[in-house]
A and B are shown apart, each in its own frame.
Chain A
Amino acid sequence: MSDIRIAVKEPNGEHTEITAPTDMGLSLMEVLKANEYPIQATCGGMALCATCHVEVLEGPELKEPSDDEAYMLESLPTSTSRSRLSCQIKLTPEMEGLTVRIAAEDY
Chain B
Amino acid sequence: MNKITTDICIIGAGPVGLFAVFEAGLLKLRCHIVDAIAQPGGQLSEIYPKKPIYDIPGFPEVLAGDLVNNLMKQIEPFKPSFTLGERVEHLHKQEDGSYIVETVAGTQVACKVVVIAAGLGSFEPRKPALENLALYEGKGVNYMVIDPEVFRGKKVVIAGGGDSALDWSIYLSGLASELTLVHRGSSFRGAPESAEKVVTLTEEGQMRLLLKSNAVALNGTDKLEKVTVQSEDNSTIDIEADYFIPLFGLVPKLGPIENWGLEIEKGAIVVNTFDYSTNVPGVFAIGDINTYPGKLKLILCGFHEAALMAQSAYSIINPDKKYVLKYTTVNGVPTL
Cβ B185 vs Cβ A106 within 8 A: no
Cβ B162 vs Cβ A49 within 8 A: no
Which chain B residues lie closer than 8 Å to A48 at the CB level? Answer: 47, 252
Please report whether the interface of chain A is mostly helix, strand, loop or mixed according to DSSP.
loop
> Which residues of B137-179 have CB atoms within 8 Å of chain A's CB atoms?
159-162
From known contacts A43-B120, A50-B251, A75-B249, infer whether A107 and B47 are also in contact, taking CB-CB under 8 Å: no
Residue of A nearest to B161 (CB): A74
* A70 CB → nearest B CB, Å: 6
Cβ A49 vs Cβ B252 within 8 A: yes
Cβ B129 vs Cβ A77 within 8 A: yes
Complex CA distance for A67 and B246, rounded to whole angstroms = 22
Is there a chain B Cβ closer than 8 Å to A57's Cβ?
Answer: no
> Which residues of A56-85 have CB atoms within 8 Å of chain B's CB atoms?
67, 70-72, 74-79
Is there a chain B Cβ closer than 8 Å to A46's Cβ?
Answer: yes
Please report whether the interface of chain B is mostly helix, strand, loop or mixed according to DSSP.
loop
Is there a chain B Cβ closer than 8 Å to A97's Cβ?
Answer: no
Complex CA distance for A98 and B252, rounded to whole angstroms = 29
Which chain B residues lie closer than 8 Å to A79 at the CB level? Answer: 184
Is there a chain A Cβ closer than 8 Å to B126's Cβ?
Answer: yes
From known contacts A43-B120, A48-B47, infer whether A75 and B128 are also in contact, taking CB-CB under 8 Å: no
Residue of B nearest to A79 (CB): B184
Which chain A residues lie closer than 8 Å to B252 at the CB level? Answer: 42-43, 48-49
* A85 CB → nearest B CB, Å: 13
| Cross-interface CB contact of B162 among A40, A44, A46, A75, cutoff 8 Å | A75
Complex CA distance for A107 and B134, rounded to whole angstroms = 11
Cβ B251 vs Cβ A51 within 8 A: yes
Is there a chain A Cβ closer than 8 Å to B189's Cβ?
Answer: yes
Residue of A nearest to B165 (CB): A75
Is there a chain A Cβ closer than 8 Å to B248's Cβ?
Answer: yes
| Cross-interface CB contact of B126 among A44, A74, A107, cutoff 8 Å | A107
Cβ A76 vs Cβ B248 within 8 A: yes
* B119 CB → nearest A CB, Å: 10
Cβ B47 vs Cβ A78 within 8 A: no
Complex CA distance for A67 and B185, rounded to whole angstroms = 15
Which chain B residues lie closer than 8 Å to A72 at the CB level? Answer: 249
Cβ A77 vs Cβ B159 within 8 A: yes
* A81 CB → nearest B CB, Å: 9
Cβ A75 vs Cβ B47 within 8 A: no
| Cross-interface CB contact of A46 among B48, B188, B266, cutoff 8 Å | B48
Residue of B nearest to A72 (CB): B249
Which chain B residues lie closer than 8 Å to A43 at the CB level? Answer: 120, 252
Cβ A42 vs Cβ B267 within 8 A: yes
* B46 CB → nearest A CB, Å: 10
Complex CA distance for A74 and B195, rounded to whole angstroms = 14
B-contact 0/1 string along A92-107, CB 8 Å cutoff: 0000000000001011
* A46 CB → nearest B CB, Å: 7
Is there a chain A Cβ closer than 8 Å to B214's Cβ?
Answer: yes
Is there a chain A Cβ closer than 8 Å to B127's Cβ?
Answer: yes
* A105 CB → nearest B CB, Å: 8
Cβ B47 vs Cβ A77 within 8 A: no
> Which residues of A1-56 have CB atoms within 8 Å of chain B's CB atoms?
40, 42-44, 46, 48-51
| Cross-interface CB contact of B266 among A40, A50, A107, cutoff 8 Å | A40
Which chain A residues lie closer than 8 Å to B159 at the CB level? Answer: 77
Cβ B162 vs Cβ A42 within 8 A: no
Residue numbers of B with Cβ under 8 A of A are 47-48, 120-121, 126-129, 159-162, 184-185, 188-190, 214, 246, 248-249, 251-252, 266-267, 288, 297
Would you give 16 A-B contacts (Cβ < 8 Å), ordered by A?
A: A40-B266, A43-B120, A44-B297, A46-B47, A50-B249, A50-B251, A71-B189, A72-B249, A74-B161, A74-B185, A74-B188, A77-B248, A78-B128, A106-B128, A107-B126, A107-B248
